[in-house]
């Protein structure tokens, strides 16, 4: 393990990063780890990362120089830089920016990691929403009208309370029905599933998402 923390950690990837989102994440999780070219988002005067992890095929030269004492080269090519980080960092929650919204294949690969690496909870921040693997017992309070989606990555059964379109053992599947564009009628929302599903919320509900994962 390269980095271990008892508090949440911010991880930064090479795709587009909203500066205000990064600042919000750092206010919650000030320890930061960069995935390869994600280190450029910490240049020229951002925080020094605890580690820069990757195969370094996209790491700028100025970042190599500035962060030289924190570079951890992982040469193998069978995993993405995001997966390399998730395999080598441990924290109650990782908050990831710069992993969504660019190439579709990169986005899909990141979502694939979310459901496979169950030992390390991760929240990924996009332009408008956040996405995470649905925890075993998701029970939170959310404002009425909050957008929410349950997206199956494997065949799944889902039970929910507090949604406009609640589910009672509803069968979902990647090649079948999904629960997109649902809404909270709450205020108390509970969702559980058999199978691997992703949950999306507006990114202004980051604190709620972190608390839900830390409660597991």
The first and second tokens of residue 148, run together, are: 């929410």
Q: How many CB atoms lie within 10 A of CB 65?
A: 8
Q: How far is CA 181 from CA 146, 184, 214, in A?
A: 10, 10, 26
pLDDT tens-digit readout, 129-167: 999 999 988 999 999 999 999 999 999 999 999 999 999
Q: What is the pLDDT of residue 77?
A: 81
User: Sheet of 71-73: strands edge to edge?
Assistant: 71-73, 51-54, 32-35, 9-12, 94-97, 122-125, 129-133, 197-202, 147-152, 179-183
Domain over 138-202 is classified CATH 2.60.120.320? yes
CB-count exposure of residue 170 (10 Å: 0-12, 13-18, 19+): middle
Q: Could you tell me which of 101, 93, 76, 77 has the C-alpha nearest to residue 33?
A: 93
To the nearest whole percent, how much of the chain has pLDDT over 70? 100
Query: What span, in angstroms and rounded, lies between the C-alpha atoms of 120 and 82?
Result: 12
Torsion of CA 38, 40, 41, 44, to 10 degrees: 160
- Which CATH superfamily, name and number, covers 3-127? Thiamin pyrophosphokinase, catalytic domain (3.40.50.10240)
pLDDT tens-digit readout, 66-99: 999 999 999 888 899 999 999 999 999 999 999 9
pLDDT tens-digit readout, 18-42: 999 999 999 999 999 999 999 999 9
Q: What is the pLDDT of residue 216?
A: 81
Domain range list for the chain: 3-127, 138-202
Global pTM value: 0.96
Q: What is the pLDDT of residue 136?
A: 86
């Amino acid at each position: 393990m390269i980095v271990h923390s008892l508090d949440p950690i911010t991880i930064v990837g090479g795709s587009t990063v909203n500066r205000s989102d990064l600042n919000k994440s750092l206010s919650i999780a000030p320890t930061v780890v960069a995935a390869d070219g994600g280190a450029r988002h910490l240049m020229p005067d951002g925080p020094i990362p605890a580690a820069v992890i990757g195969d370094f095929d996209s790491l700028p030269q100025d970042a190599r120089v500035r962060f030289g004492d924190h570079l951890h080269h992982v040469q193998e090519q069978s995993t993405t830089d995001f997966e390399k980080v998730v395999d080598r960092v441990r924290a109650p929650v990782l908050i990831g920016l710069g992993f969504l919204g660019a190439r579709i294949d990169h986005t899909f690969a990141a979502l694939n990691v979310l459901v496979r690496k169950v030992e390390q909870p991760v929240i990924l921040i996009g332009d408008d929403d956040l996405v995470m693997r649905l925890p075993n017992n998701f029970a939170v309070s959310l404002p009425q009208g909050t957008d929410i989606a349950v997206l199956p990555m494997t065949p799944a059964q889902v039970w929910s309370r507090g949604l406009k379109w609640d589910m009672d053992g509803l069968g979902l599947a990647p090649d079948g029905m999904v629960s997109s564009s649902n809404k909270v009628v709450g205020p108390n929302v509970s969702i559980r599933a058999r199978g691997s599903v992703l949950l999306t919320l507006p990114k202004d509900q980051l604190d709620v998402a972190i608390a839900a994962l830390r409660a597991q």
